[in-house]
Amino acid sequence: MENHEKTAHEVAKICTLAGKIMLQSGAETYRVEDTMNRIAHAFQISEVQSFVTPTGIIFSIEEMDLDMTKLVRVSERGTDLKKVVLVNSISRNIAEGKLTLKEAFTKLNEIEHSQDVYPIWLQIASAAIASGCFLIMFLGKWHDFIPACLAGGIGFAGIIYFHRLSQIKFFAEFTASFLIGLISIACVKIGVGIELNKIIIGSVMPLVPGVLITNAVRDLMSGDLVSGLSKGAEAGLTAFAIGIGIALALALF
């Protein structure tokens, strides 16, 4: 009895840790719930219930001799699909019997505490190049490629910096988009850029919450209405912050 209860607590700890990592890394709600349930079933815990929202996880084990519930609060979320893939891989290894409870917990801890896969400078450089490519995709002129790269790179660096400065996402996104607007206007006024609209559109694309919008639609289609609506609202607020920042820059200059 004591061994069974101890095992159940360890399984619940592993399941919620796996779910927390996936939810913080941008996984869909149904994928998080499915992974947690599969891990529990692989360790011979059959009567489990999981409820996931964008801000928290409730995981419950309900058996004849045991009734326990674990709650995990998730306050920070981003996009790191590599961590999602790694957790999925661990889940499959557990289902195949290749990992013990201790080994699985150790590997999940390593994933949780791992640093950014790519250095900050590389992320900023990638955002800058992507901004220029988006400009060309939206039928912009090659003459505006460098201004779009400059505005997009500085804007992305700004959102990283302002997010560290303040935990309010709206503030970081608003300030970064305002910065993009200022740089784009400055490039056009000094003659480096030509089409202001295309430069701005290309530059703000790295800030657009594309993964969040996709996950919101997928959650709604799979029946997770609470998560789908909340993620959709978060994506809408992000888009609103970006739009207000650009509008303020255009209004002032």
Whether the predicted model's global pTM rises above the 0.85 cut: no
β 56-63/66-73 pair status: antiparallel
Distance, CA of 4 to CA of 65 (rounded, Å): 9
DSSP 18-84: HHHHHHHTT--HHHHHHHHHHHHHHTT--SEEEEEETTEEEEEEEETTEEEEEEEE-------HHHH
Q: Look over the chain and give the mean of its residue pLDDT values, rounded to a whole number.
A: 88
User: According to the model, what pLDDT value does residue 14 have?
Assistant: 92
User: According to the model, what pLDDT value does residue 220 have?
Assistant: 86
Q: Hey, is 235 helix, strand or coil?
A: helix
Q: For tokens 């998080």, what's the residue?
A: 32
pLDDT in tens, 203-244: 999 998 888 888 888 888 888 888 888 888 888 999 999 999
User: According to the model, what pLDDT value does residue 36 have?
Assistant: 92
Residues 6+ apart with CB under 8 A from 54: 23, 29, 74, 77, 227, 230, 231, 234
User: According to the model, what pLDDT value does residue 116 have?
Assistant: 62
User: According to the model, what pLDDT value does residue 215 have?
Assistant: 85
Q: For tokens 């939206």, what's the residue?
A: 138
User: According to the model, what pLDDT value does residue 69 have?
Assistant: 86
How many CB atoms neighbour CB 44 within 10 A?
10
User: According to the model, what pLDDT value does residue 243 have?
Assistant: 92
Which is nearest to 217 in space by CA: 203, 207, 227? 227
User: According to the model, what pLDDT value does residue 91 have?
Assistant: 92
pLDDT in tens, 67-78: 788 888 888 887
Please list the ranges in the chain whose pLDDT falls under 70: 1-4, 64, 116-117
Q: Crossing angle, helix 29-42 and helix 2-24, to 10 degrees?
A: 160
